[in-house]
Amino acid sequence: MTSRLNLSDRKLLYLLAGMDTVISYRDITEIVYKLKQRGVTFPYKFSEHKGSIHSRELDKALKKLVQLGYLKEIYLPGYRDYGLLYIRAYMITEKVKKILENPKFSTKDRKKIDKFIKKLKAEILERAR
């Protein structure tokens, strides 16, 4: 494992920092999948299984970012009705602030990510009402 961040790592950290909350693995996967469909360049391949989306490459990237100290992996209580005891989730660490000062990836992708985050947060607020 390399200790340097590649472009997709930086985009992923930028995305998670923009969400500004603890976010589940499932939600991260869905968000990255939707962003990729909207033209944001991510190298991850996705597969669908029983109605959920999964990416081995994204999973490896998240584990790498945890090992490098950019993300913290936490486990939240799950939905017992569905047989889930715990849900894997991630939160950014203080180390990410340096990355945000100079993300080092295309402005085009940055704008698409920002627009998507803004829309997603608006939808979440609307559902909360």
Domain 7-108 part of CATH 1.10.10.10: yes
Residues of the chain with pLDDT under 50: none
The predicted pLDDT at position 101 comes to 86
Positions of E strands within the chain: 23-24, 47-49, 52-54, 71-77, 86-92
Residue 92 neighbours by CB distance under 10 Å: 23
Contact between residue 33 and residue 12 where contact means Cβ atoms under 8 Å apart:
no
What are the sequence ranges of the domains in the chain?
Answer: 7-108
> What pLDDT is recorded for position 1?
55
Cβ neighbours around 53 below 10 Å, total: 15
Q: Tell me the per-residue pLDDT of 58-68, one tens digit each, with 9 for 90 and over.
A: 999 999 999 99
